[in-house]
Amino acid sequence: MIELFQLANHKVERSEVSNWLKKEDDSSYREMTDNKLAIFLNGLIIHKRGKRDGEPPISENQLSNNIILKKLKIAFDLKTDDILEMLKSIDKPIGEHELSSFFRNPNHLKFRLCNDQYLRNFLNAMLAKYRTNEAG
């Protein structure tokens, strides 16, 4: 995790990362801010896709599930069909139009907020896909 932050030109201490990863009932637990998560996801994008020319990616101060979903899609170079197949593989299928509504501009008529359940399903689908690929 520290290396991913460094790729996004941000320094974090091992103790800070350790505290984010503790259980919520631990007295040392600290919640990761949206900005820190955005920086981490930007580092993940750079790690997986390489550093691009021009200005570095924006590290938002406030994240939505839609932004998190979009950053993960970019990092893992996922196409719509990839995501649909991943969700189908864990018995949580959604339609193509429903999925595309999560990636639209928030001002667009067909934009839809990605609720926690959809993001959780997507993360579970990613976990199933990439754990399987690592083991095989």
**pLDDT of 65-104, one tens digit each?**
999 999 999 999 999 999 999 999 999 999 999 999 999 9
**Residue 69 within any structural domain of the chain:** yes
**Residue 57 within any structural domain of the chain:** no
Nearest CA to 57 among 104, 9, 102?
Answer: 9
Structural domains in the chain (count) = 2
**Residue 54 within any structural domain of the chain:** no
Of the chain, the end-to-end C-alpha distance in Å amounts to: 24
Residue range of the domain that includes 17? 2-49
Examine the domain organization and report whether 73 and 108 are in the same domain: yes
> Which conformational region is residue 56 in: left (phi greater than 0), alpha (psi within -120 to 50 degrees), or beta?
beta
**Residue 56 within any structural domain of the chain:** no
Examine the domain organization and report whether 83 and 44 are in the same domain: no
Nearest CA to 119 among 69, 63, 62, 57?
Answer: 69
Examine the domain organization and report whether 72 and 100 are in the same domain: yes
Query: DSSP secondary structure string, 13-43?
Result: -HHHHHHHHS-TTSTT--PPPHHHHHHHHHH
DSSP state of 93: -
pLDDT score, position 134: 59
Examine the domain organization and report whether 71 and 13 are in the same domain: no
Mean predicted confidence (pLDDT) in 101-126: 96
pLDDT score, position 52: 85
**pLDDT of 10-29, one tens digit each?**
999 999 999 999 999 999 99
How does residue 132 score in pLDDT terms, banded at 50, 70 and 90?
low
